[in-house]
Structure 1
Amino acid sequence: MMRMTRLALAMAALALSNPAALAQSDKTGVEKLYVLNCGEGTAGDISRWTPGLNEGKAMDFVDTCYLIKHAKGWFLWDTGIADAVAAMPNGLVPADPKAVTWRRPKTLAAQLEQLGIKPDDVKAMAVSHTHPDHTGNVELFPQSLLYVQKAEYDWPGANNTPRFKPSHPAELLTGDKDVFGDGSVTILSTPGHTPGHQSLLVKLPKTGAVVLSGDAVHFRDNWDNRRVPSMNVDKDQSTASMQKIADTLAKEKAQLWINHDKAQRDTQKMAPEFYD
């Protein structure tokens, strides 16, 4: 026992005398970001996203999730359309033909498996908001800590049902959140599309800073013209949130990655490739 104690003390002293070893044990920051295909769809009429324009014009959408490898563990942003949709031959067809018909070419579970990741490996997650194209697979990760704005969590669902299982571990936010405490992954409160909508700032060592939009904006033309979709819960909040994102982009010299923008997504590296 004495010999083991001396050995432990000697190893501790060696670590303290070696700054590199100490830094290795105290690693921080984002290491990788994977872009995941979480759905593809077609909207029958995009005028609801562009009030006064594009009546009757159809448009292809994508639905994107992002898996982040941080030195302290795996973090998932958004969970996309439910994996069960992959088994539907005609996709998830909405009652309203103007809305989006969603398909699931690849399940989230299969994409994680390809990366060698089990759902239990994802210790923390967040969703931009509680529309079903972003929360479809939350319960694949029943033990993962969910970061969500309190305003979103408390927002009644259909027939006043809760938006998440009460048993799901959650941290309710009332503003921005530095997820790992090192500034590398920051949840940004961006309400307007829904009461507690949020976006995500990620700082990558080589790629630089990226803001993941959620649905603060749906596609590039809406961003460039600061258009607010008619289904948003608050127009003024939506406009203010877009300005907050613009200010963040300028401050951090960041790129804006727009969740549903197919043209942009088609230029990006998809998992198993990654950004570092």
Structure 2
Amino acid sequence: MRRVGLVLSAIALLLSASAASAQSEKPGVEKLYIMNCGEGVAGDIGRWSPGVNEGQSMDFVDTCYLIKHTKGWFLWDTGIPDAVAAMPNGLTPADPKAVTWKRPKTLASQLEQIGVKPADVKAMGISHTHPDHIGNVEMFPQAMLYVQKAEYDWPGANNEPRFKPSHPVELLSGDKDVFGDGSLTILSTPGHTPGHQSLLVKLPKTGAVLLSGDAVHFKSNWENRRVPVNNFNKDQTVASMQKIADTLDKEKAQLWINHDKALRDSQKMSPEFYE
């Protein structure tokens, strides 16, 4: 009998270990790291909030997000080019009302700090193709790039393509469940640019967070539904804000606004992470 009891105990332990292993292998997002991808000063934020704050300066931040999914690493936005870190006066715009950007930490050094090599990043997405969001795309030449077709086809300066033709890309025409398990969903939110997109991330402990891209630039603009003067399409922008609001309600999600310094200053930065 004692032998039978030992056998049954061993079987129970095996089943328990198997269940724990299955639980740990459950598909989904495991961690999210917030990366410092630039810091700057906007000369006149009236361009982002027409009729309000005219002539006022504001500190901006630029944020990238590295996400650990059970199927691999996913990077959202790539920020200001790492090369700007070597520029003592930062990246100065031709228009003094725009943002002067600096790069206090490179993306490469922040990845290295947590033991991630650029080659480890298997997939990536960009909210849109403005320079402060695509500055380091080619640090990851092997990563599948998710971008809306409307954005990919939008001519760049001098009608040049916005990405190297050799970069692997999946062109989207709407929302995309990246890994097929609902934990990471790209949301089509056009308006700021023709193919702007945002990202819904479902974390096991933190819950759902929605990464805005530039669908909105700072909290007061979100609260008042203000549309920047330079946006591609005002009606699309307003509709995308409503889509974000509806998603926040449905998913009980937090809105993380990319450029909002007050928000970012309240968050855990890499090498800390959210689960």
TM over 0.5: yes
Percent of aligned pairs with the same amino acid: 82
Q: Distance in 2 between matches of 1:255 and 1:95?
A: 35
Please give the residue correspondences for 1:203-242 in structure 2 after superposition, counting only pairs within 5 Å.
Answer: 203-242=202-241
Q: 1:232: Cα distance to partner?
A: 0.3
Q: Distance in 2 between matches of 1:249 and 1:17?
A: 37
TM-score when normalising by structure 1: 0.92
Please give the residue correspondences for 1:100-249 in structure 2 after superposition, counting only pairs within 5 Å.
Answer: 100-249=99-248
**CA deviations over 1:52-99 (Å, ceiling 9, x no partner):** 111110000000000000011000000000000000000000111110
Q: Distance in 2 between matches of 1:274 and 1:243?
A: 29
CA contact (8 A) 1:39 1:63 kept: yes
- 1:39 is aligned to 38
**CA deviations over 1:138-171 (Å, ceiling 9, x no partner):** 0000000000000000000001000000000000
Measured on the aligned residues, the alpha-carbon RMSD in Å equals: 1.6
Secondary structure at the aligned position of 2:193 is classed as coil
Q: Distance in 2 between matches of 1:128 and 1:242?
A: 14
**CA deviations over 1:185-239 (Å, ceiling 9, x no partner):** 0000000000000000000011000000000000000000000000000000000
CA contact (8 A) 1:16 1:22 kept: no
Aligned length: 262
Q: 1:16: Cα distance to partner?
A: 11
Unaligned runs of 5+ in 1: 1-14
CA contact (8 A) 1:85 1:92 kept: yes
In 2 relative to 1, CA 21–224 (structure 1 residues): closer, same or farther, beyond 3 Å? closer
- 2:268 is aligned to 269
Q: 1:20: Cα distance to partner?
A: 2.3
Structure 1 consecutive aligned stretches of length 4 or more whose deviation exceeds 2 Å: 15-27
Q: Distance in 2 between matches of 1:75 and 1:25?
A: 19
Q: Distance in 1 between matches of 2:254 and 2:172?
A: 25
In 2 relative to 1, CA 263–21 (structure 1 residues): closer, same or farther, beyond 3 Å? closer
**What one-letter code is carried by the residue in structure 2 that aligns with 1:157?**
G
Q: Distance in 1 between matches of 2:24 and 2:15?
A: 11
Unaligned runs of 5+ in 2: 1-13
Q: 1:25: Cα distance to partner?
A: 8.2
Q: Which moved more, 1:18-27 or 1:71-80?
A: 18-27
